[in-house]
Amino acid sequence: MIFLFTEISTQTRKIIKIKKQKVKNIVKITKDWKIYLFCIFLCEFVGIVSAFFTREDVKIYGTTIIKPLLSPPSLIFPIVWTILYALMGISIAKIYLSAPSKEKTTAIVLFGTQLFLNFCWSFIFFSFQVFGIACFWLLALLISVIFMIIYFRKIDKFSGNLQIPYLIWLAFAFYLNISVYFLNRI
């Protein structure tokens, strides 16, 4: 009889422990999704603010500047940037949720740096139309993204790999930027 009671008690404790773990997992998943959504929103917001403040300058650019041969239609840019900002948000959320480390701190600083450089480039290129300085600014952005990818991959390879399309797009943007510079020198 005592054995049966002990066995039931042990089984009950196991069930309670499993249920507590499930509740913790649900809470963690809920918390994680909030972080993912916040990070995606933050990155998209940076892009929206930049686009909002340079929208008139982009229109002027489109009508007054000689564009390179491989310039895509204007419709492509907001589509690509929306996807890239979402990928940035997913990546930084995964990094933020990772275990504390020096690499994590460096990765977050690099992410913030590249996001700032990204935000400012639109003003340099479209608003001020100083294409030479924009080339150097974009080169700094490219370098910071390369380092960001390296640090992201040290923490979470998937997060680093999610930034490869961004790096490729920036390399293409560099081609466009330097071409605009040479085509429009006066």
Q: Which residue has the tokens 């600083």?
A: 109
Rounding to the nearest 10 degrees, give the CA dihedral for residues 148, 149, 152, 153: -150
- Look up residue 130 and give its DSSP letter: -
What is the value of pTM for the model shown?
A: 0.84
Any idea what the CATH number is for the domain that residue 135 is in? 1.20.1260.100
8 A C-beta contact, residue 39 and residue 111: no
pLDDT of residue 135: 98
- Please name the amino acid found at residue 143: I
8 A C-beta contact, residue 181 and residue 132: yes
pLDDT of residue 31: 80
Domain count, the chain: 1
- Which token pair is 49? 């603010």
By residue range, what is the domain housing residue 59? 2-183
Pick out the chain residues at pLDDT < 70: 1-30
* Other CB atoms within 10 A of residue 119 CB: 14
Residues 24-70 have pLDDT tens digits of 555 556 689 999 999 999 999 999 999 999 999 999 998 999 999 99
Q: How far apart are alpha carbons 151 and 47 in whole angstroms?
A: 23
